[in-house]
Structure 1
Amino acid sequence: MRVIFANHSSAPVNLGGAERSLLRFVDDWQRIDPELQPVFVTKAPEGTFIKELKDRGWPFKAYRFRGWALPSPQPAPAAERAAFATVDYASTRAMIELFRKNRPDLVVTNTLVAPWASFAAAALGIPQAWIVREYGDLDHGLHFQSGRASTFHDIGLMSGAVITNSEAMRTHLAQYMPSEKISVAYPVVDITSLLAGRDDVPEVAPFPSDAPDLRLTVVGRVEEGKGQHRVIEAVGVLKDRGLRVAVCFVGSWKHPGYDQHLLDLAERLGVRDQIVFAGEQRNPAPYVLAADVCVTPSTLEAFGRTTAEYMALGRAVIASATGGSAELVEEGITGTLFDIDDISTLAGAVERYARDRSLVERHGAAAPGRLDALMAGEHTNDAAIRRLQAVARSGSGYQLPAIAEYWFSLPAAYASLGDTSARAAVGLLLNRLRTRTGTVGRALALPRVLLRKLARR
């Protein structure tokens, strides 16, 4: 069976959860079916994801494209949208030709943000499925260009099956597509790799040298949505209650300077000396094991990979009571859930562990068994793979009208008209420059007739 998997990111610095989960998913599929022929379409330029594909000997094609879910909530200028759409159309056309040449049995889109492989499959009537691992707007602040409801409806319309990574995500998606199309496969936690580095000496001392009342580790990219500020605020509350809680944050920061913003918050609360930023670490296990309790303070996690990793390493977990983490943590057995809108509930959870060390031990000891039970249940990669195999065997998928393939070719044909393309490029440049001030701004304040003459040259 030949399956084309589409991914949305080059993963320039390190593999994200979506990429790691996809690689493990395909590894598991080849274990079940050694005859599987995986082919990948992914985003250029080359990053860590393509390196992983090369290491495995899996063929791939890389394209330049954006998506239908973008970071900015404000519509870009028309000229800019047209320029990027031309690139997206060209990638879709190239995928159509690739799929026509290779004729896969199934196309699997492993992303919420870029539908181009799905469109290519639909142009040819190839069976397809989606793997949706994020909310998009609610967790990452993305803007769906056609709206959330329309985007998820389209995914359900084109897909023979939709695989997601938690019951929370299944419930969310079921608002917009037939629920019978949706199934859950929890991402596999690579416990072997985690444990392989458990005895490593941390490159950065995770906690202050004194003996705090409790040590917390938080693993994840340092950004507002991941909620590190909530932990610092809770530590400030506990300082006023006479408890000294130390925190180690492990992970790179998405926006330069955000770590300093958090340190400034800690300074204002009088807990600066209780906070350590360890940065990105190849293996977080030594930092997790150095803690008494670990925290997932995110606003909303579709699954909660770090929560699962904490549990695999035998640590009690405090997690936000939203999203996937809430179904991983068993309240009062392996950890505690807290209300993200009420810092006092987080502070209270930390305080209970600080004042009852036996609770730390009991919850930590119960965590691996809880994770094993979840991962061995109905939400496995094996079950999801069987579902996708059935979609492939159906032999036909949702198909766009024949005119769609012609439409996909138009922007590239338009861009090939040299003079027209040049005028479009000048128009895009002018749109960009009009937002500037000073000399450029004064130049662009010239009468419109003169600007039109410049554009025609």
Structure 2
Amino acid sequence: MRVIFSNHSTAPVNLGGAERSLLKLVDDWAAKNPDFEPFFFTKAPTGLFTKALDERGWKYRAFRFRGWALPSPQPAPVAERTTFAAADYQAVGAMIDELERLKPDLVVTNTLVAPWAAFAAKTLGLPHAWFVREYGDLDHDLKFQEGRRRTLADIGLLSEAVFTNSLALKNHVASAVDPEKISVVYPSVDAGFVTERAAQAPASTPFPQSSPGLKITVVGRVEPGKGQFRAIDALGLLKADGIDASLCLVGSWKTPGYDLELRDRATALGVADRVTFAGEQANPYPYVEAADVCVTPSTVEAFGRTTLEYLMAGRPVVASNTGGSAELVEPGVTGSLFDPDSPRELADALAVYATTPGLAEAHGHAARASVERVLGSEFSQEAAITRLEGLVGQPAYKLPEISRYWFALPGDYASLGATTARMAAGLLASRLRTRSGLVGRILRRPGVATRRILGR
């Protein structure tokens, strides 16, 4: 059984949750089915994702494309839209050719932002499944070119099955997609791997040596949506309450200067000496191990992979009560939840651990035990693989036959290059002189003099 997987990211700095979840899904599927043969469509140029494919010996092809959910304001200038449309639809054409060559049994899209493999699959009438692992606009501030609801509706139209990574995201997608078509699958994480890596020494000092108080770790890309500023604000409130605590932020930042904004925020609150910016780490787990409690302060998380990893490492989690993390944390047992609009709630939740001896350890033990329940539920990888295999050989939606011609048009227009105006004028003149053009239609009228029409 040959399955094509389409992924949108080159992962130039680190493997994101979507890429890591896809790799684990394919790993598990390959272990389960000896006849399973994966092939990958991914974005060019190559990066850490293709490196991971090379390490596993999996074949892939990289394409240049953009997407239908973008960080830039919409609508973009016409020149920009047409330029990228040409690249996007050239990628669709190349994907169609590749699908015809590979003859897969199923195509799976692992991205909200790039529909091109879905278009290619539906041009040929192949079964297609879609993994939606993010909100897009709510969590990453992306702008949908056709709006959120229309985009989600198209995802449902182009797929025989849709998978989300939490109940919260399923409810979100179900606003535009038939709920019967949607399945929930929690990403699988290797608990043994997390435990083994957590036992290693951290590459740098996680917390100030002079801080005997509560130690707090946040892992994730440093950006406003991930909410590190909320943890800093809570640290300031704890200090005002006379509670000693320190914070370690692990992760890269893609917006230049944002780390300086956070440092200035910590300075203004008088806690700059209690905040460590560890940056991107190949092994973030020792920083989790060094903490008493971990925090997921995001505005909204589709799933909350780091939340699950915190639990695996035996650390209680204080998470925002929005999105998928709220499904993973059991308040009063493995951690607590807070309103992301209330730094006071976050500070109070952390204060409980700081002032209640033994509570962090007790919740940490319960956290580690809860992971098996979460991953062994009806939302398991095994259940997802079973449903995916069930799509093979089933009837699949197919786009109109004209779609292949449409997908080729932007590339044809782009090939005009710098002589576009001249060639367009030549095309117009040709159309006027041919039997199908204006002159041709006039000439075919009864009683029209050819010489007079042509000016001779």
The answer to whether TM tops 0.5 is yes
Separation of aligned partners in 1, 2:117 and 2:46 = 18
Larger radius of gyration: 2
SS in 1 for 2:411: helix
1:377 corresponds to: 377
- 1:241-291 Cα offsets, whole Å, 9 max, x none, are 111110001111121211111010010001111100111111112111111
Separation of aligned partners in 2, 1:263 and 1:71 = 25
1:448 corresponds to: none
Shift of 1:423: 8.1
Q: How does 1:39-50 map to 2 (within 5 A)?
A: 39-50=39-50
1:340–1:418 distance in 2 versus 1, CA, 3 Å: closer
2:195/2:312 contact within 8 Å kept: no
Shift of 1:76: 1.2
4+ residue segments displaced more than 6 Å: none
SS in 2 for 1:154: helix
1:58 corresponds to: 58
Separation of aligned partners in 2, 1:411 and 1:198 = 50
What amino acid is aligned across from residue 411 of structure 1 in structure 2? P
2:402 corresponds to: 403
Q: How does 1:186-201 map to 2 (within 5 A)?
A: 186-201=186-201
Separation of aligned partners in 1, 2:203 and 2:54 = 29
Q: How does 1:328-339 map to 2 (within 5 A)?
A: 328-339=328-339
What amino acid is aligned across from residue 398 of structure 1 in structure 2? Y
SS in 2 for 1:107: strand
Shift of 1:74: 2.8
Separation of aligned partners in 2, 1:95 and 1:399 = 16
1:414/1:420 contact within 8 Å kept: no
Q: How does 1:55-454 map to 2 (within 5 A)?
A: 55-394=55-394, 396-421=395-420
Separation of aligned partners in 2, 1:19 and 1:47 = 12
Separation of aligned partners in 2, 1:254 and 1:209 = 29
2:215/2:293 contact within 8 Å kept: yes
Separation of aligned partners in 2, 1:421 and 1:331 = 63
What amino acid is aligned across from residue 72 of structure 2 in structure 1? S
Structure 2: gaps spanning 5 or more residues = 424-456
What amino acid is aligned across from residue 98 of structure 1 in structure 2? E
2:440 corresponds to: none
2:166/2:184 contact within 8 Å kept: yes
Shift of 1:199: 2.7
Shift of 1:197: 2.1
Separation of aligned partners in 2, 1:309 and 1:167 = 19
2:234/2:344 contact within 8 Å kept: yes
1:446 corresponds to: none
Separation of aligned partners in 2, 1:311 and 1:256 = 31
Structure 1: gaps spanning 5 or more residues = 425-457
2:199/2:289 contact within 8 Å kept: no
1:384–1:418 distance in 2 versus 1, CA, 3 Å: same
Shift of 1:59: 1.1
Shift of 1:196: 2.1
Separation of aligned partners in 1, 2:180 and 2:7 = 24
What value does the CA root-mean-square deviation take over the aligned residues? 1.3
What amino acid is aligned across from residue 30 of structure 1 in structure 2? A
1:10/1:49 contact within 8 Å kept: yes
1:453 corresponds to: none
**TM-score under structure 2 length normalisation:** 0.91
1:440 corresponds to: none
Separation of aligned partners in 2, 1:288 and 1:419 = 56
1:291–1:361 distance in 2 versus 1, CA, 3 Å: same
**TM-score under structure 1 length normalisation:** 0.91
Separation of aligned partners in 1, 2:323 and 2:420 = 46
1:158/1:397 contact within 8 Å kept: no
Identity within the alignment, %: 59
Separation of aligned partners in 2, 1:423 and 1:368 = 69
Shift of 1:22: 0.4
2:452 corresponds to: none
What amino acid is aligned across from residue 412 of structure 1 in structure 2? G
Shift of 1:209: 0.9
1:419–1:281 distance in 2 versus 1, CA, 3 Å: closer
Separation of aligned partners in 2, 1:65 and 1:422 = 26
- 1:185-240 Cα offsets, whole Å, 9 max, x none, are 11111222222222322121111111332110110111110001001111111111
